[in-house]
Amino acid sequence: MKKRHFSIVLLIAPAFFVVAQTASAQDPASRPKTAASQPAIAPLPAEYKAIVERIAVHTQAGTDGYRKLSELCDTIGNRLSGSANLERAVEWAVATLKKDGHENVRTDPVEVVKWVRGRESLEMIEPRPTKLHMLGLGGSVATPPEGITAEVLAVPNQDALQELGERARGKIVLFDVPMPVENAERGAGYGTSARYRVMGARWASELGAAAVLVRSATTHSLRTPHTGAMNYFDAKARIPAASVTVEDAAMISRLQAAGHTVRVTLKMEARTEEKLAPSANVIAELRGRERPDEIVVIGGHLDSWDVGQGAQDDGAGCIMAMEALNVLRKLDLQPRRTIRVVLFTNEENGLAGGKAYAAKYADALSMHAAAIESDSGGGAFRGYSASVKDESERPACLARLEQVAGLLGPAGSVNAELGGGGADISPMGPAGVPMLGHRVDMTHYFDIHHTEADTVDKIDPRELDKNIAGLAATAYILADMPGRLGEPDWRRNR
């Protein structure tokens, strides 16, 4: 997500889906009050409690989600923008959504950047010859065919890089920056690490470095390198950039501290094609029974990096949206407004899909009641965070979301600490669309993020089903409730 205007978070107890255990959702004394000021708003329609329970019972028996995720990941695999795999995934999604009987299944064409990894390797030459484990960073340029052989200088932060000054010229700079330890709410300290991945090549090139290596963005490593996007921005010199494993980065730093000169050879064939490649956002709908022109978007991104299977990032999020729509249709739950699944393209290295959606539907964004993105993996369901642009809408929005949280579980609460939304839906934020981020336990998210280890077996089928239920229930309520989320005069529509 780009900019957070305001944020609230619904925290939902693990007991969410123990159907029998339902403290009164309408009883304000049963849940903690953390919001500073709440407008007096009418309760949600009483029938929602039974509807949420129907969804929970239905999904407890098992959904088609895990089968779909396995089919996507095992028969198509990873899905980098511009790749044949992503084109096949778009075709697969269209066919699957049509087979499930949804309405207005279609593709919106989007042109995307095509970066190709090519062959790549990293060998340590001194003080002992050995292969190191690496992944080129998305957007990187190639090395010359013979590679770049140079001394490595490891630095623990940006200040240490600046202290190198002229010593960095012609060297390979290694940013050996450990990722801060994760917690279940926020995941790991991804922003800190990702900053070095994105900016490192530009910073090192300013000192005349020949190439840059960055320590992988993870706190638990089994010598698995993590890729991800980098950017040269306005750098005068474009130098190759690659990630190395936590283990190899730490070894290089130890060798350097012990007085050894570390020399490596980096070879990369990476290139960005001059022409953009055709791709598409995939769309399907459950049309609203009363106000079909008002839209609740649910979605994730269909593209992934070119390693692993893109199961967690973001196959799981796409499946949650697809299957939530399927569950509602199977249960014959047709809300007032339309629920629209959007599977965005090119989130990982461009955000062209999210930008194209906001541009194509610019005139209709005022009719978007909410947008929910699932792009945090398949961990245990934790509810939603939210961002609302309009200050005047926030109090009513906060109070409404507290009510929704109350329906989802007895310990639903609201706090104002975390931002909400997701990268793909963020271009809708400036138009005032309330943006919700589907939240899960992220304790282990960054263990496999952007790696060869992001495979289907890492996703727990039962947790996937619970996430599908949570998304289906939330999307239904937001699409069906009498007034739209955050609507200042929502009482008018009761």
Binding residues for Zn ion, rule: CB under 5 A, are: 313-314, 375
DSSP string, 402-456: HHHHHHH-TT-EEESSS----TTTGGGGGGT--EEEEEE--TTHHHHTTSTT--G
CB atoms within 10 A of CB 35: 17
Contact 345/353 with Cβ under 8 angstroms?
A: yes
CB-nearer residue toward Zn ion: 122 or 436? 436
What is the rounded end-to-end Cα distance, in angstroms, of the chain? 33
Query: Which one is catalytic: 347, 348, 402, 487?
Result: 347
Least Å from the CB of residue 201 to Zn ion: 22
Catalytic annotation on 103? no
Q: Do residues 204 and 239 touch, judged by C-beta distance below 8 A?
A: yes
- Which one, 205 or 374, has the nearer CB to Zn ion? 374
Give min distance, CB of 442 to Zn ion, in A.
12
Nearest to 211 by CA among 184, 185, 187, 240: 240
Indicate the residue among 249 and 448 with the shorter CB distance to Zn ion. Answer: 448
Q: Which CB, 176 or 314, lies closer to Zn ion?
A: 314
Question: 85 and 333 in contact (C-beta within 8 Å)?
Answer: no
Question: Which residue's CB is nearer to Zn ion, number 294 or number 348?
Answer: 348
- Nearest CA to 154 out of 43, 21, 248 is that of 248
In the complex, the smallest distance separating the C-beta of residue 345 from Zn ion, rounded to whole angstroms, is 12
To Zn ion, the closest distance from the beta carbon of 309 in angstroms equals: 13
Choose between 225 and 437: whose C-beta lies nearer to Zn ion.
437
Smallest gap from Cβ 437 to Zn ion, in A, equals 12
Residue 196: φ, ψ to 5°: -70, -35
In whole angstroms, how close is the CB of 166 to Zn ion at the nearest point?
40
Closest CA to 470 of 312, 323, 284, 313: 323
Q: Are 299 and 373 in contact (CB under 8 A)?
A: yes
**How would DSSP label each residue in 238-275?**
---EEEE-HHHHHHHHHHHHTT---EEEEEE--EE-SS
CB of 312 to Zn ion, least distance (A): 8
H/E segment holding residue 318: helix 316-330
* Amino acid residing at 440: V
Q: What angle do CA 450, 453, 457 make, to 5 degrees?
A: 120
Nearer to Zn ion, 306 or 375 (CB): 375
Q: Is the peptide bond before 127 cis (omega within 30 degrees of 0)?
A: yes
| Residue with smaller CB distance to Zn ion, 313 or 323 | 313
Rounded CA gap, 180 and 219, in Å?
Answer: 7
Q: Tokens standing for 395?
A: 């109090």
Answer whether 409's CB lies under 8 Å from 472's CB: no
CB of 464 to Zn ion, least distance (A): 16
CB 68 within 8 A of CB 378: no
CB 86 within 8 A of CB 303: yes
Tell me the catalytic residues: 347
